[in-house]
Structure 1
Amino acid sequence: MTDLSDLPPAWSGRRALAWPGLPLLVALALWAYAMRHTDVSRLDDYGLVSALHPTFWAGLAVLTTGFWFTVRDPRRPGAWPAAYVLGLLVMERATQAVLYPTPLYAWAWKHEAVIDHLLTAGGLQTADQVGDMAVYDQWPGFFAAQAALQRLLGVDSAAMFMAWWPLASSLMLLLPLLLIYRTFTEDRRLIWTAVWLFCVANWVGQDYFSPQSVAYALHVGVLAVVLRRFGRSAVRRGRPRQAVWTVVITVMIVAIVISHQLTPGMLAVCLLALCLSRRYRDWVPLVTTVVIFLAWCLTAALPFLSAAMPDMIRSIGDVGANVETGYGATPTGTGAIATSWAARLLSGSVLLLAAVGVLRQRVLRHRARPLLLVAAAPLPMFAASSYGSEMIFRVLLFMLPGAAFFAAAALLPKVRTLAAGAAAQETGDRQATGTARSRRWGIGTWVPLAALLGGTLAFVPAYSGKDRINYFPPQEVALVRQLFDQAPDGSLVVAANRNYPDAYASYWSIDHYWFLDDARSHVDKIVREPAATLADDMAGVERPARAYFLLTQGQLANSEMNGQLDKAQLDRIRKSLAASPRFRLVAENGAGWLYALKQSGGAER
């Protein structure tokens, strides 16, 4: 156990207990005002950052400052730090749901299509039936649960609630995080500061409507149970109780394994790291994870793994390639580069603070060593796979619970064991107390506050700096739905990339071709001779099916900001199709254009 109670309270009496509510209410009022006065109709390359009303930033600063002075006073009720963290999550994760009339992220829309397919097909299907999308039928846990939830709520689509999923998935993380941190300290200042840092450093975006969001929460939940119930002291308290907790983690591990490919591997390396410490020599959680994971890989997931295994083997040990972004994933333009660096600096600062906390806090370095091992365990995964050029972000994500704890320790005073604190009190160590009081308003207060405030503000560009890519206005949604409402089975939809809503709608009956995924030589040919090349690419579609070309605002933003084709090149392609006698305009609005390839023989519709 650790204790940070050497800091005296700033205020006393009723005012000390009541005043934390004032900054919290002011911050939420400023946030509410900002939501009413923020216009997201014309986002630039800085995403939501440049669109937010200034009162949002003021509210975030007030919230952070109020939290810092609240959490440092041990006499304040423990509910106040919790209230501030909930306020932070509202400002962080609910802002986009309030401002945007449609859900964010093309991947979230893709997952909605998978659920729709599951409900339509009435069961799982193979690659012979749905092609590459069969991978989702081989890890169906999340989608089956969401299909059941959709039916339970009586809604037509998961799009009705998936905009609020980032807030819901973030709330799911609070309990396991608190359990983990309370395993190593009872001081609520360290606990809640660690939770705060976890929230502001968790910009990676795993919280959207995805299997990763649930699998990650379950991953942290398994670690919480293992850290609290599978240590040597817990095992000695009784095997019957241990069996109950084994059943609990087994259920969670099964849910992880059937929902997500990467998380079981991350969980296994974290549990292995714990087994290497003296305090956690119970191999049951690790063996359970490995056995369930292997059983799933050798049965339900075997078709996918058989096809992907050669590439997976080649990527082992190739760290440079595994962390390289590559073509189509390189931030381009001032806004994209600035927000990318904000994310890097935020993660780097938290990791640096964590290193300072490990070096500075000798007590925690010993007592929280298992958490330090868990934080370091994902690092070897750099050498295992590129995971679609996202492995670096996933490693940071799985390091974050431990890193946030030690980063919080760097912002707080020196810790001492409870026994040492009691001994100091008995001997009347008033000199130390006086020194702490004299530093109350000194560098030990304002420098950590500046660091906390900087990290909290940096979260916004790191998390929502790409909203020009991720947001699809209602006009874009309407245009895409018009396409799929009229496209006969067997039709082909051609687009620059898959960054548009409902990009995978009816994927079991309609084919898709995203030409920016093709070889660079073919992309260059399309740029040189757009209409002729695309007409040849689309010519194989036979009646009654149709071949469509779709270009939308989301595709333009994704291509420009990720270093592919710029706006002038995409405009040239669109104008070439508009002038070609082989294409006709089907629909257009302020968010995009839809063309159809004219078919020979018979009247055009």
Structure 2
Amino acid sequence: MTTSAQTDAANDTAPPPPETPDSVENQQVTYQLADAALVAALCGLLGLIPLPTPVRAVLVAAFVFVGPGAAITTWVHIPRRLLPAAVVTLSMSVTTIVAIGAMWSYRWSPTGILVVGTLAVAASSFYWYFRARSMPPVRSWPADVAARARVSLRSIGVDTSVVLLAVALILWVVALSIGLPGVDASFFGLLFSGAGALLIPAVVLVAVAFVIAIARRRVPVATAALLTLIIVERGTTWLGTEVPLYEWTYKHIAVVRYVLAHDLIQPNGTDIYAQWPAFFVTTAWFSDVTGLDPMTLAHVFAPVIHLLIAIIVYSAARTIGSSTRVAITAAFCVEMVNWVAQDYFSPQAWTLVIAYGLLTMLIASRHHRQAGILAIIPFAAIVPTHQLTPFWALAAAVGLVIFRQARPWWAVAAMIGIAGAYLALNFEAVAPYGILSGSNPVSNATSNVTAAGVPAKEITSLVCRALSAGVLLLAALSAVVGWKHKRPYVIACAIVAFSPLALLLGQSYGGEAIFRVYLYSLFGCGLLVAPHIVAALDGFGAGRRRALVAWGGALAVVAAALAGAYSYFALWPTVIETRAQVEAIDRITADAPPGTRIIMLYGAGLPARINDNYAPLTLANPYFDYPLSYELADTRGTFPTAEQLGWLEWKVGETDKPTIVAFTTQSRRVIEYYGEYRPGAPAEFEQIMRETPGWRTIYENPDTLVLEHDPKAAPR
């Protein structure tokens, strides 16, 4: 793709000679941003045709991630290396802003939004063609695409690294075919359980293939290794499971289903998502126009998010002047050490992608002012989407301006105004959660789980902490070396990498701040360490000393990839859901009357907030699905005592609405993993509830028991 300025200059050249069959492969069509925008608009319009749902979803997704951004950058000069990040970021941002704007203005019409959006993008392209006195080279596209594909395949070829990637994919497919373990997996996670163990050699082979490709300067193969890593790790969360992972994913699905069912945002007082609804409205729009069930969208969400992150990190590295090898290495590093698992169907995952793109544009604005002005658009999309991410992005943006790494300053001032105004309008909703939870960064960095638990928990925590500390330490050393050698953009990358630490000065974010800090820091850390990793791997065959450094770098990459994969899958038996459980709780809660209470010792396996009925249930009782672990607080270790059971009986007896008590294998495993209840407590409590009069079994399978209290049958 070229910019509009480059295209204007190209229009003065003579037309190329006619193509011949033998020369097609040696000639490449010059694509314009207007071409990309037009194709994306056509994809969006085709998504309205009653095609199979997956096909419609892919077509509309192409418009969502390319169309609006390509239309905007058609008219604004953006450096070519920034284009991938800018196009994706602006497209996602405009789609988000338009969707939430339509909902807020009571102009909600999903099909109408798509039609108007695609026509607007197409009109932009046609107007550009009119101004440039050109037309899209439609007749040349099929032959050119085929030729480019052949060239790409030949550039990959077959060598040791390609064979290693093929074997890694075969191992992954075999693991999926055998069947990955579920709730019966080891406390050491998926990698040490049944067929999941095949992922260990798969990840190692991918890392080794990547090292070989970088050392041999084979960028196409290194790119294939990056894609293979995403498939092996993030594809497993999709194709290796029946339904989406994590119980908390389903509360997001429930919000989307509410929007779909009522064409409205859930009422104020339901949850904090009512004040930060942009992600839910945007995904509801996507589900509506494509017919894709939100559950299916949530299931495939993680691989898509990681692919977008890889594109933006690569573009960011190219924007700061890195070679293609260094850029691919930066993307691979961010991917292989990203164990935080914040890639599930959620506002934070969506805004993380946009925030990475926003910061890429701000970094580019040092030499391209237009990029800084355009960065206001993604920031405006982030603000109504997530509570925390805008303030990290703002902290980084302010730092970039102060150190003269971004411009114009008034663009960041506009961001401050947007964030401040939105926070002021929604202050009552966020105040109960605490704007500041304390000024002690050590305390705020503490995890929200403090119990000792099983030995596997301690080992997993050690691996996670060692990997995180290693990444941050290596990034800090890389920043110092880069600053000492006066490398360009090192200050900007350091600001992006370490600005998230400022969050620990005032907020623990419910004990999750340390995880968010690491996740936010990965972007800048990848940009900082990638040049040094490539330099180390260049040492193979260059003398004993450099060869030792190269071997050390290679081993570090393999170890980091393995540690990242282990940490990412470590909680597998506690976060996996089964289709039977999801369908059962969906039926149970779909018609549950307001005032119903759902009780578990620890919430896992049965996501109570899964459909649009969660809203009236929450309005009647905001704590209707809170586990007993919240109310028992410091007395969990003695449960169930006679006093505690008497208190529970009183709680149940004070209402004439149904009360449900549920037991799941996941809940029992979480309790054992974290050690917050005494051994045997879940089984003892389950037996007591089975024998207590007034309770009846409404659902039971090997992993689940659901009991309901019948007020009429209960003794008085």
Q: Which moved more, 1:275-284 or 1:357-366?
A: 357-366
1:528 to 620, 632, 641: 641
**SS in structure 1 of the partner of residue 387 of structure 2:** coil
Does structure 2 retain, via aligned residues, the 8 Å contact 1:24–1:87? yes
2:203 to 60, 82, 94: 60
Per the alignment, residue 264 of structure 2 pairs with: 123
Does structure 2 retain, via aligned residues, the 8 Å contact 1:496–1:515? yes
In structure 2, distance between residues paired with 1:107 and 1:255: 23
Per the alignment, residue 406 of structure 2 pairs with: 280
TM-aligned CA distance change 1:54 to 1:45, over 3 Å: closer
For residue 279 of structure 1, report the CA deviation from its aligned partner. 3.9
Per the alignment, residue 405 of structure 1 pairs with: 527
In structure 2, distance between residues paired with 1:479 and 1:444: 56
In structure 1, distance between residues paired with 2:587 and 2:308: 36
C-alpha root-mean-square deviation of aligned residues, in Å? 2.7
Structure-to-structure mapping, 1:153-192, within 5 angstroms: 153-155=290-292, 157-192=293-328
Per the alignment, residue 253 of structure 1 pairs with: 379
1:94 and 2:235 matched: yes
1:572 to 658, 662, 684: 684
Per the alignment, residue 312 of structure 1 pairs with: 435
Residues matched between the structures, number:
549
Mark the runs of 5 or more structure 1 residues left unpaired by the alignment: 1-13, 236-241, 416-432
The percent identity for this pair of structures is: 22
TM-aligned CA distance change 1:22 to 1:536, over 3 Å: same
Q: Deviations over 1:515-555 (max 9, x none)?
A: 1111436656851036543221112322xx42211122222
Per the alignment, residue 239 of structure 1 pairs with: none
**SS in structure 2 of the partner of residue 538 of structure 1:** helix
Per the alignment, residue 112 of structure 1 pairs with: 253
**SS in structure 2 of the partner of residue 28 of structure 1:** helix
Give TM-score scaled by structure 2 length: 0.72
Does structure 2 retain, via aligned residues, the 8 Å contact 1:358–1:364? no
For residue 125 of structure 1, report the CA deviation from its aligned partner. 4.1
The residue type equivalent to 1:234 in the other structure is H
Give TM-score scaled by structure 1 length: 0.84
RCO higher in 1 or 2 (8 Å CA, sep ≥ 6)? 1
Structure-to-structure mapping, 1:464-543, within 5 angstroms: 464-485=569-590, 487-505=592-610, 506-510=613-617, 511-520=624-633, 523=636, 527-529=640-642, 531-542=645-656
In structure 1, distance between residues paired with 2:681 and 2:197: 35
Per the alignment, residue 190 of structure 2 pairs with: 48
Does structure 2 retain, via aligned residues, the 8 Å contact 1:354–1:410? no
Does structure 1 retain, via aligned residues, the 8 Å contact 2:347–2:386? yes
2:514 to 351, 369, 392: 392
Q: Which moved more, 1:144-153 or 1:263-272?
A: 144-153
In structure 1, distance between residues paired with 2:608 and 2:678: 21
1:456 and 2:561 matched: yes
In structure 2, distance between residues paired with 1:178 and 1:16: 19
Does structure 1 retain, via aligned residues, the 8 Å contact 2:696–2:707? yes
Per the alignment, residue 152 of structure 1 pairs with: 289
TM-aligned CA distance change 1:407 to 1:138, over 3 Å: same
In structure 2, distance between residues paired with 1:342 and 1:63: 20
Q: Deviations over 1:136-182 (max 9, x none)?
A: 01000000011111112213x41123122111111111222122211
**SS in structure 1 of the partner of residue 494 of structure 2:** helix
TM-aligned CA distance change 1:105 to 1:414, over 3 Å: closer
For residue 435 of structure 1, report the CA deviation from its aligned partner. 10
For residue 38 of structure 1, report the CA deviation from its aligned partner. 4.3
Per the alignment, residue 430 of structure 1 pairs with: none
In structure 1, distance between residues paired with 2:714 and 2:541: 88
In structure 1, distance between residues paired with 2:407 and 2:685: 62
Structure-to-structure mapping, 1:66-465, within 5 angstroms: 66-74=209-217, 76=218, 78-128=219-269, 130=270, 133=271, 135-155=272-292, 157-228=293-364, 230-231=365-366, 233-235=367-369, 242=370, 245=371, 248-299=374-425, 301-308=426-433, 311-313=434-436, 315-326=437-448, 328=449, 330=451, 332-361=453-482, 362-363=484-485, 365-413=487-535, 437-439=542-544, 442-465=547-570
For residue 283 of structure 1, report the CA deviation from its aligned partner. 1.0
The residue type equivalent to 2:374 in the other structure is V
Per the alignment, residue 661 of structure 2 pairs with: 549
In structure 2, distance between residues paired with 1:518 and 1:576: 19
TM-aligned CA distance change 1:521 to 1:264, over 3 Å: closer
The residue type equivalent to 2:615 in the other structure is W
In structure 1, distance between residues paired with 2:571 and 2:516: 18
For residue 93 of structure 1, report the CA deviation from its aligned partner. 0.5
TM-aligned CA distance change 1:168 to 1:494, over 3 Å: same
TM-aligned CA distance change 1:434 to 1:26, over 3 Å: closer
**SS in structure 2 of the partner of residue 298 of structure 1:** helix
TM-aligned CA distance change 1:357 to 1:526, over 3 Å: closer
Per the alignment, residue 581 of structure 1 pairs with: 693
In structure 2, distance between residues paired with 1:546 and 1:337: 40
Q: Which moved more, 1:190-199 or 1:33-42?
A: 33-42
In structure 2, distance between residues paired with 1:183 and 1:214: 22
For residue 33 of structure 1, report the CA deviation from its aligned partner. 1.8
For residue 48 of structure 1, report the CA deviation from its aligned partner. 0.8
For residue 601 of structure 1, report the CA deviation from its aligned partner. 7.0
TM-aligned CA distance change 1:39 to 1:305, over 3 Å: closer
For residue 191 of structure 1, report the CA deviation from its aligned partner. 1.8
TM-aligned CA distance change 1:122 to 1:280, over 3 Å: closer
2:704 to 585, 589, 592: 592
Does structure 2 retain, via aligned residues, the 8 Å contact 1:493–1:549? yes
Q: Deviations over 1:350-398 (max 9, x none)?
A: 2232233334454465542211122121212111101010111111111
Does structure 2 retain, via aligned residues, the 8 Å contact 1:582–1:598? yes
**SS in structure 1 of the partner of residue 429 of structure 2:** helix
